Amino acid sequence: MSLNFPEGFDPQPTLMDDLLELRPLTLDDRDALADAASDPAVWAGHPNKDRYRTDVFQPYFASLLAMGGCLVIVDRLTRDVIGCSAFYTDTNAPSRLSIGFTFLTCAYWGGPTNRALKRLMLEHIYALSAEAWFHIAPDNLRSQAATAKLGAVLMHEDTMDIGGGPQRWKCYCLTREAWTAAQSLPSRGGG
């Protein structure tokens, strides 16, 4: 998957807060990320449910590395690699900056981690753009709910190839204004 990011956008920054460090994915992260991905529950809602298997994960890791927008997620307290996420552009609308290819180990579900992760990534996008996009598999209800908790709105469904061939995706948009408004609400859990 070849990505063309808008001028002025750094797709592989190092971003940090008190909980997380996001840094560019490197070949040296392969074993730690494979370990984080090794639980079948992590992939239960994703289109490729076998990604916990090493033989399936290794080609996926190679594609993440080649993408040029992937960040590894590190717990700042333990220094453990707990997942990854990526900036990418919509193949059907290349000017749209998107966040996806995200997974977290199950121990980090339902708490503040996803919101902290998205806050870091969204603030990076919003420095250049007023919108961030998310593409979620129709049967991945957990990710759809988490994305809606951020303030994103389902705009449409589309068939896109964002790696792995053409698939149907639910396309959510989160504007800077909606994100700001959602931040003023009391936390509703892991979103």
Look up the CATH number of the domain holding residue 107: 3.40.630.30
- Tens digits of residue pLDDT in 104-126: 999 998 889 988 999 999 999 99
Domain-embedded: residue 32: yes
pTM score of the predicted model? 0.90
Whether 162 is in a domain gets the answer: yes
User: In the chain, at which residue ranges do the beta strands (DSSP E only) sit?
Assistant: 15-16, 20-24, 70-75, 81-90, 93-104, 131-136, 153-160, 167-175
- Does some domain include residue 153? yes
Q: Looking at the domain assignment, is residue 8 inside a domain?
A: no
Helices (H), 9-70: 30-36, 54-67
How many structural domains does the chain have?
1
Instruction: Say if 30 falls within a structural domain.
Output: yes
pLDDT > 90? residue 73: yes
Is 142 within a domain? Answer: yes
Enclosing domain of residue 103: 15-183
- Between strands 131-136 and 81-90, the pairing is unpaired
At residue 186 the predicted structure's pLDDT band, cuts being 50, 70 and 90, is low
In a domain? residue 27 = yes
